[in-house]
Amino acid sequence: MSILKDTLREILITLHIDITKNLKYDRLTRKILKKDLKENSNCIDIGCHKGEILDLMYKFSPNGKHYAFEPIPHMYQNLIEHYSKKATIYPYALSDESGETTFQFVKNAPAYSGIKKRRYDISNPDIEEIKVELKTLDELIPESTRIDFIKIDVEGAEFGVLKGGKQLLIKNKPTLLFECGKGGSDYYGTTPDDIFSFINEEIGLDIFTLQDYYDNRDALTKEQFSTHFDKNDEYYFVAAK
Average confidence (pLDDT) over 81-85: 94
Long-range contacts of 89-92 (CB under 8 A, 24+ apart): 89/48, 90/135, 90/140, 91/132, 91/133, 92/132, 92/133, 92/134, 92/135, 92/140
Average confidence (pLDDT) over 150-170: 97
Note the pTM of the prediction, 2 decimals: 0.91
Specify whether the CB–CB gap between 173 and 146 falls below 8 A. no
Which domains does the chain show, CATH number per domain?
Answer: 19-90+141-240 (3.40.50.150)
pLDDT tens for 125-138 read 999 999 999 999 99
pLDDT tens for 35-54 read 999 999 999 999 999 999 99
